[in-house]
Amino acid sequence: MSSISLFKRALRTLQNESRGRIPQRVNRWFKWLAPGLLVKRWILLSAGGVVLTSLGLAIWVKLTPVFYIIKFTAQVLEKITTIIPNHVSGPIALILGLVFIFWGQTRTVGSITEVLKPDHDRKLIDVLMDHRRLNRGPKIVVIGGGTGLSSLLRGLKVYSANITAIVTVADDGGSSGRLRREIGVLPPGDIRHCLTALADQEKLLTELFEYRFRAGSGLVGHSFGNLFLTAMSDITGDLEQAVAASSQVLAVRGRVLPATLTDVSLWAELADGRRIEGESNITDARGVIKKIGCTPEHPPALPAALKAIQEADYIIIGPGSLYTSIIPNLLVPEITDAIAARLIPRIYVCNIMTQPGETDGYSVSDHIKAIDEACGKRLFNAILVNRKYPSAGSLIKYAQVKSHPVFLDREETSKLGRRIVVTNVMYEDEETNLVRHNSERLARVLLRWYSRAHA
């Protein structure tokens, strides 16, 4: 009796486990029938092909072998029904057929999954559905540079794979500046940040691209990604091709494009009369910027960047350093003309804090006026402003370097004819008291505004 009860208990356990697995399997198989996956039509087409092939073969051989095969099969089936009644043999054959079909398809999909997704973290159907959803996302063009842009891209890639980041190439500081001076390549730093932000869960490769050498003659301070892009530029011939090749390595979701392939240098005229040359020197000068420009004066835009803007459903400018990350892109006349010509939702993401040496004491309207004055055109019809103020600890830390929250002067901003989107998109690190845009929240708010503006 004890062995029987033990057997019953084991049977109940197996039944409970199978109840959990079967609904999951059924649910997973029903996902393959979801609209838009472009799977059902090809399965039906294949089935139709099998029927047509069989029919063609039968016609070709004048049905002689087919006739005898059908006749032999009919005799066998008739013999079986004399032994086992048809109301029993029929369902048995039907069930066996369905089991074989289900088993065969499961093993087929499993074999494909082992090749395409060897880690088994996600089911192939889920990957396929995400792929379809992301490729149907809006065509978004994001313009800027620095960590602000890469932070936004990290959030946007969850909603669309049709993202194009247009990045400044005016950087002349740090590792990028050294490579620019020593080798003569366009600065790859901002592009590297955007590539790793758009990488599709390639954690190891992302860490590799962001790795910074701490020792070695001539290597200290350089990041591996910068060196990689520099080498690829030399191999492929230009930065555009180097970025495209690197995007394949990182499995990038979207594209990253330099605003121009021209070697651009920034200059700024300050309120005290000084003229500062070089992007990194502008911030270090700690003056009030009255005018900003670049040398050469009218650099040609990258054709692919212009095409992306012309085909875009949505254009986002920023966030990022106003004078050294955002405006440098807008100093390319063809880019500003292309943006201004588009009658689509266009929004500027304003910084949360002022930046010492660039936007000291700037309000929201001051940011808008600076962009309008630099490019001579009205490029966006809305501005996103953070609503929540940082904590006292963060305010004290930022005040020590003369940085403060960007004040929303609503009346003055409204006079500039922009729609104001006020929301909480701030992330505050409790340990370091650093204030940044929250990638996920910012992307969600921007896509929600786009849906309303596009409706």
**Tens of pLDDT along 197-209?**
998 765 777 788 8
- Among 3-12, 103-112, 293-302, the range of highest mean pLDDT: 293-302
Q: Give the residue with greater pLDDT, 86 vs 391.
A: 391
What is the rounded CA–CA span in Å between residue 193 and residue 206?
A: 9
Number of domains in the chain: 1
**Would you state the pLDDT for residue 2?**
47
Examine residue 87 and state whether it is found in any structural domain, yes or no. no
The residue to which tokens 């395409």 are assigned: 116
Say whether 397 sits in a helix, a strand or coil: helix
- Is 322's pLDDT higher than 50? yes
Q: Give the residue with greater pLDDT, 171 vs 269.
A: 269
Q: Give the residue with greater pLDDT, 442 vs 57.
A: 442
How does residue 426 score in pLDDT terms, banded at 50, 70 and 90? very high
**Would you state the pLDDT for residue 99?**
80
Examine residue 40 and state whether it is found in any structural domain, yes or no. no
Span 278-290, average pLDDT = 89
Examine residue 70 and state whether it is found in any structural domain, yes or no. no
In eight-state DSSP terms, residue 122 is S
CA distance to 273, 330, 356, 371, per residue, from 290 (Å): 9, 16, 15, 12
What is the per-residue burial (b if ≥16 Cβ within 10 Å, else e) of 345-361? bbbbbbbbbbbebbbee
Residue type, 431: E
Examine residue 86 and state whether it is found in any structural domain, yes or no. no
Backbone angles phi, psi at 140, to 5 degrees: -110, 130
**Would you state the pLDDT for residue 33?**
58
β-strand partners of 347? 316, 382
- Is 369's pLDDT higher than 80? yes
- Is 118's pLDDT higher than 60? no
- What is this structure's pTM? 0.76
What residue numbers bound the domain in which 384 lies?
126-452
Span 22-49, average pLDDT = 62
**Would you state the pLDDT for residue 66?**
65
387 burial (CB, 10 Å; 0-12 / 13-18 / 19+) is exposed
Query: 39, 32 in Cβ contact below 8 A?
Result: yes
Q: CATH number of the domain that 356 lies in?
A: 3.40.50.10680
- Is 32's pLDDT higher than 60? no
Span 128-135, average pLDDT = 73
How does residue 175 score in pLDDT terms, banded at 50, 70 and 90? confident
Q: Could you tell me which of 280, 293, 198, 309 has the C-alpha nearest to residue 247?
A: 198
How does residue 93 score in pLDDT terms, banded at 50, 70 and 90? confident
What is the rounded CA–CA span in Å between residue 306 and residue 260?
A: 10
For 399-413, what is each residue's pLDDT tens digit? Answer: 999 999 999 999 999
- Is 15's pLDDT higher than 60? no
Query: 318, 332 in Cβ contact below 8 A?
Result: no
- Among 13-22, 201-210, 233-242, 349-358, the range of highest mean pLDDT: 349-358
How does residue 392 score in pLDDT terms, banded at 50, 70 and 90? very high
**Would you state the pLDDT for residue 9?**
56
Examine residue 90 and state whether it is found in any structural domain, yes or no. no
Q: What is the mean pLDDT of the chain?
A: 84
Torsion of CA 40, 43, 46, 47, to 10 degrees: -100
**Would you state the pLDDT for residue 455?**
67
Examine residue 414 and state whether it is found in any structural domain, yes or no. yes
Examine residue 85 and state whether it is found in any structural domain, yes or no. no
Examine residue 200 and state whether it is found in any structural domain, yes or no. yes
Q: Beta-carbon neighbour count of residue 372 at 10 Å?
A: 15
What is the rounded CA–CA span in Å between residue 442 and residue 444?
A: 5
**Would you state the pLDDT for residue 398?**
94
Q: Could you tell me which of 166, 174, 169 has the C-alpha nearest to residue 187?
A: 169
In the chain, pLDDT over 90 holds for what percent of residues? 44
Q: Give the residue with greater pLDDT, 20 vs 238.
A: 238
Torsion of CA 8, 12, 15, 20, to 10 degrees: -160
Span 240-251, average pLDDT = 86
